[in-house]
């Protein structure tokens, strides 16, 4: 139906129908939310990267214990940071500034389970992932993100479900709300929901895309058992302490058998 409408109605920039309407979004908006400098909750994050045209954005999404005791049952946005190249010197994203921002805040999120960095056709993002994995303690939870259509559809489907069910709290962020309202949905030829930007020529949903991927990462955490960054550091410290205390007589007995 959506594809026929494109041909009959000449709907080249408004294909499909709105994914969300204002009352649905407003129901999830918490005007009291502000960017947190730190959090002890389990959280996931996504860095959507760009160079000269699109926005670069960082979204951190956490469990919301105030709303649900079930792991990842309810989510809350902890931070949204946006770099607009049009407002920066030379109109270009400076990777050093982005890295400095990550260095400042990520250590304040000891239970960060995963940080995905958009490395699709973005060399500076690929270099950033390699650098932090080698040189940063928090680099353990960093992964490159080069997923395509299937993961994007799943991400948006999960975000859509969260908003409709009211199991996510988002801040009153003008950019995010504008993007959520602009997204269109169509029914694919396989009968599944697919997402389209409002315009074919320009990509406008940078922040909303980051939030959708965070919902996908949170879903992965809900079905897997992973150790947080903070817990890993504590385990390393405890293991080092045991190594100092334990001196085996038999050399063939190692710490794992202790």
Q: What is the DSSP string of 171-197?
A: ---HHHHHHHHH-EEEE-TTS-EEEE-
The CB-side HSE value for 167 (13 A sphere, CA atoms) comes to: 17
pLDDT band at 187 (very low <50, low <70, confident <90, very high): confident
Contact between 3 and 173 under an 8 Å Cβ cutoff? The reply is no
6-19 mean pLDDT: 59
209-213 mean pLDDT: 97
d(CA 139, CA 99): 12
pLDDT band at 12 (very low <50, low <70, confident <90, very high): very low
Enter the pTM of the model.
0.80
pLDDT band at 256 (very low <50, low <70, confident <90, very high): low
Q: Convert the pLDDT of each residue in 22-73 to its tens digit.
A: 999 999 999 999 999 999 999 999 999 999 889 999 999 999 988 888 899 9
206-228 mean pLDDT: 88
pLDDT of residue 13: 43
d(CA 255, CA 258): 5
Sole residue written with tokens 């990509």: 203
Q: Convert the pLDDT of each residue in 143-177 to its tens digit.
A: 999 988 889 999 999 999 999 999 999 999 999 99
């Amino acid at each position: 139906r959506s594809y026929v409408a494109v041909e009959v109605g000449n709907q080249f920039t408004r294909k499909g129908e709105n994914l969300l309407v204002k009352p649905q979004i407003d129901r999830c908006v918490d005007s009291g939310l502000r960017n947190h400098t730190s959090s002890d909750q389990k959280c996931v994050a996504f860095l959507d990267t760009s160079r000269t045209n699109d926005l670069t954005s960082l979204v951190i999404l956490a469990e919301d214990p105030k709303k649900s005791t079930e792991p990842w049952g309810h989510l809350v946005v902890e931070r949204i940071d946006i770099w607009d190249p049009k407002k920066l010197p030379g109109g270009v994203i400076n990777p050093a500034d982005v890295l400095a921002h990550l260095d400042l805040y990520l250590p304040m999120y000891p239970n960060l389970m995963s940080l995905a960095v958009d490395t699709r056709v973005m060399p500076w993002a690929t270099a950033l992932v390699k650098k932090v994995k080698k040189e940063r303690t928090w680099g353990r939870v960093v992964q490159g993100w080069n997923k395509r259509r299937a993961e994007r559809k799943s991400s948006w489907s999960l975000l859509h479900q969260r908003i409709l069910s009211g199991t996510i709290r988002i801040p009153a962020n003008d950019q995010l709300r504008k993007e959520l309202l602009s997204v269109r949905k169509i029914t694919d030829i396989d009968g599944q929901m697919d997402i389209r930007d409002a315009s074919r020529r320009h990509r406008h949903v940078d922040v909303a895309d980051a939030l959708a991927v965070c919902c996908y990462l949170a879903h992965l955490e809900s079905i897997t058992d992973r150790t947080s960054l903070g817990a890993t550091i504590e385990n390393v410290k405890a293991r080092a302490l045991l190594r100092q205390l334990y001196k085996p007589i038999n050399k063939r007995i190692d710490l794992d058998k202790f």
